[in-house]
Amino acid sequence: LLLDNLASVGDETGHAMQQSGWASGTAILNAMVVLLATDCTQNAGGDTGPEDAEAALLRFLEAQEANPLLDPHFALRICRQKGLIKAMVLLYGLMQMHEEAVEVALKHEDIALAKRSACKPPDTEKRLRQKLWLRIVEHQAATSDVQKIIGLIRESQELTVRDVLPYLSDSMTIDAFKDEICECLDKYEGQIVTLRQEMDDHRRAL
């Protein structure tokens, strides 16, 4: 109950903290980060365990995303000291440091967390999203598991076989990518047909 109360303080008192000024408001948030992060590394009593404590910290940080009084650098330092990987990745994302978020997740072999971070940049930042997904491909390619790479291509909706080929080892057989290659060729064929149609329409209009 204490953790839930702490995690919801930002929603209930955020406006009041902003009115009270940067120093006092940020100090309160910093103190709450320390309390919640410390609780994550200890076995809380009763029915509340470390996983519940970490969930409370994550909820609190997410609730403060738009709060200018949050000091994400301080929170990141505390979470790094406590070894709270999910909170670190979340904070990097809040600071728009998506490459760092993916790297931390991959360093700790949390592929699902890395993939969620790769989806965080807006659709307008297509190059960045591709770069993040390719970093995950590079990491997974070390396992020589073709199915994992194929899964990343399909899941990302950003990559094609051509994008991932440079990351594949010699031990990976190209036959495994037959369906993806055919799909890619069909896509290019469709683009060529569309381009020809546009050129014909343009010539007729002259």
Residue range 159-197, pLDDT digits in tens? 888 888 888 776 665 666 666 656 655 665 666 777 778
**What value does the mean pLDDT take over residues 109-134?**
94
3-class DSSP string for 36-95? HHHHHCCCCCCCCCHHHHHHHHHHHHHHCCCCCCCCHHHHHHHHHHHCCHHHHHHHHHHC
pLDDT at 46: 46
Report the distance separating Cα 100 and Cα 88, nearest Å. 10
**Residue 67: closest CA among 27, 11, 117, 20:** 11
Q: Enumerate residues 6+ apart whose C-beta is below 8 A from 70.
A: 26, 29, 61, 64
Q: What end-to-end distance do the CA atoms of the chain give, in Å?
A: 74
CA–CA distances in Å: residue 117 to residues 95, 128, 132, 163, 183: 12, 11, 8, 19, 27
The pTM (predicted TM-score) of the whole model is 0.72
Q: Counting every residue, how long is the chain?
A: 206
5 pLDDT tier (thresholds 50, 70, 90): very low
pLDDT at 101: 97
Q: What is the pLDDT of residues 36-64, one digit of tens each?
A: 999 888 754 445 566 778 889 999 999 99
From its phi and psi, is residue 67 left (phi > 0), alpha (psi between -120 and 50) or beta? beta
Q: Which amino acid is at 23?
A: A
Q: Are 68 and 18 in contact (CB under 8 A)?
A: yes
